[in-house]
Amino acid sequence: MHSFRSYRVSSLAAPFVGLILSGCSPRDVMAPESRFNFTNGPATPGPYIVRIANAGSRVITTDPEDGLLAIHGRVSDLTECTDATTRVPVDIQIVRTPAAAQTMALLLTGSVNDVAIYGEGDPSDLNPFDPAKFCPFIEQVTPLYTGAVQYRLHINGQGNLLFLWEGFVVRTADGARLHYVEQQYAVPRPDGALAFLIEDIRLRPIGH
């Protein structure tokens, strides 16, 4: 457990639904995949399920053991650096239980999520979004790796968060292509903050 993790994804702290939706902005930059995607169905298939296609997401993660920081959002080719333009598209499904004691599960998926991985950076400067801090960072600091990868976030009915990213990234120094897998797993503490139990960013040569 790391004491500074609670602010890294403060936009996802409890209550999860209200804060996640307040941080999502609809975008038209990318349509969801046509196959095997829950957004192919109706937006409200029943009284307990809500689906939101092509919302906006930006997540800041770290791997303290390897000294890495990842921005899961747009950091280049921006016409303007804003909260909206630095987000990437995701689809969201919210499932509420019909029981009197309400619980909920959330699923976020993204088929082409931009990621930039850095060897430096302070998460508290990057999240929540502050243009006076975030924009100078992405303009002045060169990422070690960049790519567009698959993304999945599952929040179960108990509030546990499991982030998964997987795909291929390019190393800035020499253009080498590497296989990238990231897993972040957090559980809620009694005070409502998140305690991260797994914070792992793995980069391997293709074929290894």
For the chain, which residues make up each domain, given as ranges?
A: 5-205
E strands along 58-205, which residues?
A: 59-63, 68-72, 88-96, 104-118, 145-155, 161-171, 177-188, 194-205
Going 104 to 105 to 111 to 115, the CA torsion angle's sign is positive
Tokens read off for 47:
């009284």
Amino acid at position 160, single letter = N
Check residue 95 and give its pLDDT.
Answer: 84
Q: Note the pTM of the prediction, 2 decimals.
A: 0.78
List alpha helices for 9-93, DSSP H.
Answer: 16-22
- What's the pLDDT tens digit per position in 20-33? 333 333 333 333 33
Using CA atoms, how far apart are residues 62 and 163, in angstroms rounded to an integer? 12
Lowest mean pLDDT among 69-73, 115-119, 155-159, 196-200: 155-159
- What's the pLDDT tens digit per position in 137-158? 999 999 999 999 999 999 987 8
Tokens read off for 12:
């996802």
